[in-house]
Amino acid sequence: MSDETNITMKDIARDLGVSVATVSRALKDSPRISAEKREAIKKYAQEHNFYPNFLAESLRKSKVQPIKVIGVIVPQLDHFYFSSILSGIEEEASSRGYRIMVAQSRESYEDEVKICRAFSESKVCGIIVSQAKNTMKYDHFQTLIDKGIPLVFYDRISTGINASRVVVDDYMGAFSAVTHLINTGCKRIAYYGTSLTMQIAKNRYNGYLDALLKNGMHPNEQLIKNCDNRSEAELITPSIMRLPEPPDAFFAVNDDTAIGILYSCKRLGFRVPEDISICGFTNGQRAIACDPMLTTVEQRGIRIGEEAASILIDQVEGRLPKDKIEKRVVRTRLIIRGTTR
C-alpha cells in the first residue's frame, strides 16, 4: 500500500478488492452499492485519512455535457450601470447552466466587429450586446443573425437591425419624475439632456414635455439645454440661474449631470430643495453619496440583464422561436430623496 497521507481511491479499491467506481460510489453514498459494502469502504477511507476530492474527479469526467457560452458585449466595464446589467446577465445565465464570455467595445465600432467575429469563432450560443456609440453599420450583427446565432440588444438599441431587445421605460421614467416636481410645487422646470438623435434621449425628452403639457405648462426654450455630464452642468448652470426668470427645478438625464447642477446651485447660494429641486436618472452609487441625497429615476440594471439573458436562453433552448423579435420594457422606479421637496 502507498503512503497513507497520499492514499488514493485506486489504493482503496486494490486494498479492498473492489473497483475504483465502487469506491467512488460508496464515498458518495450511492444506493447502487449495498449499505454494508458502503460502510466498509467509508470506514477504511476514514481510517486512512482519505477525503475524496470530487472536484478533481468531476474534472476527469468532463466533456459529458459541453458548457454553453453566451457572448456579452459591454461598451465599458467600469461603468456602474453596465456592470449592474452584467451582474444580472451572469446571475440568470449561471442559474440556467450557462457561462458568459465578456468583451468591451470601448465605444469602438472596429472593436465591436472584431468581438463579434471572435465570439462566433468561439462557438457562443448567442450574443447579448449594447452597441458602441459610433456604430452606424450593422453588417456584423446581420452576419451573426444569418448564421443563426441569436442576438439580444440591451440599453442601446441598434436602429439599423430588427432584433430582440430589452430597454427601460425612459418615457415613463421621465414623465413620472417631472410630474413629481410639478406636484411638489415647481413651476419652471429645466431639462438637461443629450442630443435627440439617440432614442433614449428622445424618449426622456418626450416624457418631460408631456408631463409639462398635461399639467398646463409650456416648455421654455431657455430652460432646455444640451448637457449630459457634470463638468458641463457646472459650466452652464450659473448662467441659467442668472436669467430674469430662473428655473426652480431641474430634471437631468443622468445622476452625474444632476450632481453637477446640485453643487453649482449650492455654490451660488441656493438651498436644495427649498429654493431649487433636482431630479436625476440612473440611481447609481453617486446618488446616495451626494448631499443632500439625490431624487432620481432608478434604471434597474440587474433586471435588464436578467431579462436579456432570459430571452436569449429561451431562444437557444427553443422556448421562444428563434426568429421571433422579442421586445421587453423594464419599468423604472422614481426614488424620492433629499433634492426634491
**Residues forming the site for a copy of itself (CB under 8 A):** 53, 55-56, 58-59, 62-63, 67, 69, 76-80, 83-84, 86-87, 90-91, 94, 99-104, 113, 116-122, 139-140, 143, 146-147, 259, 263, 266, 284-287, 289-291, 301-302
CA distances from 290 to 8, 78, 246 (A): 59, 20, 23
Q: Distance between CA atoms of 131 and 195, rounded to whole angstroms? A: 17
Nine-digit cell at 69? 457560452
Q: Which is nearer to a copy of itself, 1 or 55 (CB)?
A: 55
> Strand order in 249-252's β-sheet?
224-226, 189-193, 249-252, 277-282, 295-298, 333-335
At 225, phi and psi to the nearest 5? Answer: -125, 145
Strands 151-154 and 98-104, bridge-based pairing:
unpaired
Q: Which is nearer to a copy of itself, 93 or 334 (CB)?
A: 93
What 3-state class would DSSP assign to 90? helix
The residue behind cell 421605460 is 169
Q: Minimum Å distance from CB 302 to a copy of itself?
A: 7
Q: Minimum Å distance from CB 62 to a copy of itself?
A: 4
Torsion angle of C-alpha atoms 179, 184, 186, 192, degrees rounded to 10: -50
Q: Distance between CA atoms of 67 and 45, rounded to whole angstroms? A: 33
Q: Which is nearer to a copy of itself, 115 or 209 (CB)?
A: 115
Q: Minimum Å distance from CB 235 to a copy of itself?
A: 16
Q: Which is nearer to a copy of itself, 83 or 222 (CB)?
A: 83
Q: Which is nearer to a copy of itself, 33 or 151 (CB)?
A: 151
Q: Which is nearer to a copy of itself, 165 or 230 (CB)?
A: 230
Q: How many CA atoms lie within 13 A of 221 on its CB side?
A: 0
Q: Distance between CA atoms of 249 and 272, rounded to whole angstroms? A: 10
Q: Distance between CA atoms of 232 and 226, rounded to whole angstroms? A: 9
Q: Minimum Å distance from CB 90 to a copy of itself?
A: 5
Q: Minimum Å distance from CB 281 to a copy of itself?
A: 15
Q: Minimum Å distance from CB 228 to a copy of itself?
A: 16
Which of 196, 179, 187, 306 has the alpha carbon at shortest distance from 253?
196
Q: Which is nearer to a copy of itself, 86 or 334 (CB)?
A: 86
